[in-house]
């Protein structure tokens, strides 16, 4: 049930994004819009939730001498 509701929300939002893109002269299908807008919301939220990335230092061990 929730999956069908989520799919309907994505399709409606994708159609809205597609129509907005068409007004700006972009050709975007509702399916592409439905796939695109969640990425714009989910990816930044995921990056915030997982925190900053730290580089693994090659010199992170104790001194050799």
12, 29 Cβ separation under 8 angstroms: no
Please indicate whether residue 59 or residue 38 has the higher confidence score (pLDDT): 38
Residue 25 confidence (pLDDT): 66
| Nearest of 37, 49, 40 to residue 10 by alpha carbon | 37
The C-alpha atoms of residue 22 and residue 41 are separated, in whole angstroms, by 21
Per-residue confidence band for 60, with pLDDT thresholds at 50, 70 and 90: low
Average pLDDT over residues 17-31: 67
> Across the chain, what does the average pLDDT equal?
70
- Write down the domain spans for the chain: 2-48
């Amino acid at each position: 049930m929730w999956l069908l509701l989520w799919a309907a929300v994505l399709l409606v939002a994708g159609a809205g994004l597609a129509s907005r893109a068409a007004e700006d002269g972009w050709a975007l299908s509702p399916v592409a819009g439905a796939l695109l807008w969640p990425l714009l919301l989910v990816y930044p939220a995921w990056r915030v939730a997982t925190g900053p990335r730290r580089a693994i230092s090659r010199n992170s061990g104790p001194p050799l001498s």
